[in-house]
Amino acid sequence: MTNINICFKNMFRPPQIAAEHAMPDYVRRRMDAHHVTRIEQLLGGEHPHAWQPAQAGAIFLAGNDYLCLSGEPALVRAQVAALQHGQDAQLMSAVYLQEGSAQHRLEHKFARFLGAEDTVLAQSGWAANVGLVQTLAEPDLPVYLDMQAHASLWEGVQSAGALPVPFRHNDLDHLQRQVARHGRGVIAVDALYSTNGSVAPLAELAAIAWHTGCVLVVDESHSLGTHGPRGAGLVVALGLQDHVHFRTASLAKAFAGRAGIITCSSKFKGYFLSESRPAIFSSCLLRHELAWFDAAIDFVAAADARRLALHIKAGALREELGALGYNVSDGSEQIIALEAGPEPQTLALRKLLERRGIVGAMFCAPATPKNRSLVRLTLNSGLDRDQLRRIVEACDAVRDLAGVENWPSTRRLHKLALV
């Protein structure tokens, strides 16, 4: 008999109720804030992320498969072959991989694709960012984060015990003032921001990092595959490979799989694998996942026509939505934000669009500031002329019903026009 059993025998027996219903008040209070205050009282009982199955023919604009890779026969064949003919799965942490393993070969192939000395594959973009910031930032080191930088970068700062120092979105003067005040550290930004499709001023950020002695981390999750020569991203497009210390990306966007990646030197990689907790304490990618990405690199590199189609469609749709009175001026790329502001208005917009066969994603706190929630439309290269017309028609039809004229984002636009 174990000590635990002895202990229980002598203790007061708790009543026979499911443990979850006997939750202590400090958990219940938080659950009530979600279920009662937010869902019932603010949103009338509807969950912001719950949706009905989309109607037949609906246009799905809530995913990030920008180049329409999922289901691509060449990639599926590569993955199936790996499942059928692969040897035993390697169910272990990546730190135990042998030199020359399939993952290492793929990391070198990614390095050539990205114009980097080496890369490390992680289980997700989240794991890549958290692990990288952990390895760069020691306790109390300032990490300068664009206020719209992805949550995983902020999470990395928190888990490192470093000092998060926010700077206003794409505001270089504010960043410089913050660095002057707090000193050398890490600057972390997204190349292309995931809520509104705005682009970071990467050349200027690289110059600031250089002059202030900071390390620059650029998350290319939404620009890898879609931007730059052969889809190598915005850093390569600007020739900044040697000025950006680390690039990271989720491969669950244009690469349509499940993994993350970091560019680095081979020397840093050795250090990373013994410091990054997600790399050490979580298992590595599986062989069929690697096979997908191996085929996907070749496919993405050759997908200039899809990239061009995506950019043309994004530009055209932005123009049409702007002409309808939506403020889409915050961004310029394939991610388009319809920023209704408060959550109830944003939920109403999402449903109005859904009824017209347009499925977007609702973004609200903690993904946006509390009263800047939005419906995000992410475009893909496969949208045809008729679908683009239907998106514009739906946005036109719901404009008055959704009260676009009174949205804070619309008022912001009018104010700018007056300046």
Q: Which residues would be at the binding site for ligand PLP (CB under 6 A)?
A: 124-126, 129, 150, 152, 190, 194, 219, 221-222, 250, 252, 260
Tokens of 157: 């700062």
- By C-beta, is 336 or 352 nearer to ligand PLP? 336
- By C-beta, is 121 or 347 nearer to ligand PLP? 121
Query: Residue 206 and residue 186: Cα distance in Å, rounded?
Result: 12
Q: How far is the CB of 194 from ligand PLP (least distance, A)?
A: 4
Q: How, if at all, do strands 361-363 and 373-378 pair?
A: antiparallel
Q: How far is the CB of 126 from ligand PLP (least distance, A)?
A: 3
Phi, psi (degrees; rounded to nearest 5) at 14 = -65, 150
Angle at 84 between CA 78 and CA 85, to 5 degrees: 85
Strand partners, 166: 145
**In this chain, which residue has its C-beta nearest to ligand PLP?**
125
Going by the DSSP 8-state scheme, the letter that residue 93 receives in this structure is: B
Q: How far is the CB of 335 from ligand PLP (least distance, A)?
A: 9
Which of 216, 252, 250, 254 is CA-nearest to residue 235? 216
- By C-beta, is 255 or 268 nearer to ligand PLP? 255
Residue type for position 330: D
- By C-beta, is 125 or 142 nearer to ligand PLP? 125
- By C-beta, is 49 or 177 nearer to ligand PLP? 49
Q: How far is the CB of 250 from ligand PLP (least distance, A)?
A: 3
**CA-based torsion, 149, 151, 153, 155: positive or negative:** positive
Which residue is associated with the tokens 């290492």? 104
Q: How far is the CB of 53 from ligand PLP (least distance, A)?
A: 23
C-alpha of 179 from chain center: 26
Q: How far is the CB of 382 from ligand PLP (least distance, A)?
A: 21
Pair 229, 236: CB distance under 8 Å: yes
Query: Residue 24 and residue 104: Cα distance in Å, rounded?
Result: 47
- By C-beta, is 179 or 218 nearer to ligand PLP? 218
